[in-house]
Chain A
Amino acid sequence: MSVNTSRPASRSSEAYSRRSFLSELVGVALVIAWYGAIDFIFHGWLHVPYHRWYLKNGALISLAFAFATAAWSDLNRLTGLVALHPARYFRECMILLA
């Protein structure tokens, strides 16, 4: 007896991709809100837009991060730190923090 499973499988993968897309969309919206909150803090505290501060110091921070991860090679197993999905990226950030 053969059972055609292609339809439910494709339906579930479609549902999964829709869910993944929606979670990515929510994640991006949250990051934008977070970005806005930081910008508000920077305007009030340092009187400088957040993106200007990050452009000025971000290269040094990224370089320090690269050196730290190169020296502590286990961090390179946290491949979610290169992920585009915000939830995965921030989950790995929390793991790094832990």
Chain B
Amino acid sequence: MAVVFAPRESLPAELAPGRSVATLIVMLARLRDVVMAAALALIMTIGLLLWLAFVAPAQWVINGIAGAPARSMLQSPMTAALRVGDREWSFVNAPRGSAALEGTTPSGYVQRPVSMKGALGAVVLWLLSLAGL
């Protein structure tokens, strides 16, 4: 603030009164971003700690069921993939990294095992909640 009220002739061009207010606004905007980012980081950290403490053990139990397809796909030396042609689609089952897999779309369990486990886990939990356990 001292800069804003200093005599005009003593200020460098970039800190002239009009520019100083603009600089102050930019600084406040940056400060707001820093404060918001810190608040979000804090919320995210608390959320992840709560997830680790209260959700991860139960998720590990569901992981035993929902993670089975992803685990078997990851352990297998073969990769299942889909080849989309102009007129027909075909399934390819070939060794990992082989030329037969070029131009194919690998199975979701190979590309995104963790996401697939999460989606399948949600279905399993939904079915279990429907069963009223």
Contacts and interface: CB of A to CB of B under 8 A. Distances in A.
Nearest to A93: B56
Contact of A79 (B58, B113, B129): B113
Given A66-B115, A69-B115, A76-B115, A84 B71 contact: yes
Contacts of A35: 57-58, 61
Dominant secondary structure at the B interface: helix
A21 interface: no
A70 B117 CA distance: 11
Given A84-B64, A84-B71, A97 B52 contact: yes
B100 interface: no
Contact of B125 (A31, A62, A86): A62
B111 A76 contact: yes
Q: How large is the interface on A (under 10, 10 to 19, 20 to 34, 35 or more residues)?
A: 35 or more
Interface in B42-64: 48-49, 51-64
Count chain B CB atoms within 10 A of each CB in A62, A65, A96 and give the residue with the most.
Answer: A62
A83 B71 contact: yes
A82 B63 contact: yes
Given A50-B58, A76-B111, A84-B67, 14 more contacts: A35-B58, A55-B133, A58-B121, A62-B119, A63-B122, A67-B115, A79-B74, A79-B114, A81-B63, A81-B114, A82-B67, A82-B71, A83-B71, A93-B56
Interface of A: 31, 34-35, 38, 50-51, 54-56, 58-63, 65-67, 69-70, 73, 75-76, 78-79, 81-84, 86, 89-90, 93-94, 96-97
List 4 tightest A-B contacts by C-beta distance, closest first: A66-B118, A62-B122, A82-B67, A59-B125
